[in-house]
Amino acid sequence: LTPEHELVLACCWLNIKEAGLLLGQLVDSVLQNDCDLMTPEEVQSIGRMFVRILTQCRHRGAIESCNIGFLMVCKRLLSHSDANMAAIPAQILDQVLDVISGNRSTSNITRRSAGLPLLVQAITASEPRGNYRPLLGRAVQTLLTTAQLPLSQDEDQTVDIPQVHALNVLRALFSDSTLGAAMLAHISDAVMLAISGFSSPVWAIRNAAMQLYGTLLIRMLGPKHVRDEHSAENTITAREFFTRWPSLRLFLLQQLEEAVGRQGEGRLYLHPGLQPVLILLSKL
């Protein structure tokens, strides 16, 4: 590209970033006192615009700035007294989950699913804090189901597939500190999913599963307190771990038994799930 083209392109990205921030602030201000200056149809149109940007844009800075505006819109809508307004984020979430779990995308492979994780993250993080978070529960269950969909025989690895999107979105949800406590109930299922993903024949799924697993280790064990990986300060006891997540005891044991059983085949074989299991056990 010539310098002139680069300048025009940079201005386009800046325009999208500032427009997203401005629109989010505008909706937040207009709906602050439950006034009727905006109709539900107009707000739905704004929501569709945010979804279009976050799903089709490939500029990370523009995506993140627009997501800030979208987060402001979601928080304001979920606290709105009008039931039609308050239901809009759930409608957008259903549309996004349908895109994730539907047929494969026609676009090329994107870096960590582009803005899809941010869309789901913004809507679920905007829910009022408490024990009852229906949008988060619906999203996680749909993502877990999508990530376990069987692969077709002629899977094209040059396009995004639903399983990869689901793993990337789950990673974003577990990384969000505002969702930390609410996501603890789903850790066992996510760990089983991530370790199983190491055995996938598709590289993109293995890569996404590895990133999800790294996030889960931090969420379960906490950040490192000292530099030494195996220091007692960076670990928790096995009793404490399996008391929190009892269903993982049998799963980890099955993974180890399968890995040991395959060693008797008379050839060098390393079970894909062995390394993540040993990494986890070494932290206990």
pLDDT tens track for 30-83: 998 767 788 899 999 999 999 988 888 878 888 888 999 999 999 999 999 899
Tokens of 3: 């310098």
pLDDT band at 163 (very low <50, low <70, confident <90, very high): very high
Distance CA 221, CA 203 (A): 27
pLDDT for 191 equals: 97
| DSSP one-letter code for 108 | B
User: Average model confidence (pLDDT) for the chain?
Assistant: 86
Q: Phi first, then psi: what are they for 154, rounded to 5°?
A: -110, 50
Which stretch of 22-36, 83-97, 217-231, 251-265 has the lowest confidence by average pLDDT? Answer: 217-231
Instruction: Fill in the amino acid letter for 81.
Output: S
pLDDT band at 236 (very low <50, low <70, confident <90, very high): confident
As a whole number, mean pLDDT of residues 212-223 equals: 90
- pLDDT classification of 161: cutoffs 50, 70, 90: confident
- Give the separation between CA 124 and CA 133, rounded to whole angstroms: 8
Q: For the chain, first and last CA: distance in Å?
A: 53
CA quadruple 215, 220, 221, 224: dihedral, nearest 10: 30
Contact 275/197 with Cβ under 8 angstroms?
A: no
Which candidate, 21, 124, 112, 110, places its Cα nearest to that of 58? Answer: 110
Phi/psi region, residue 270 (left: phi>0; alpha: psi -120 to 50; beta: rest), is beta
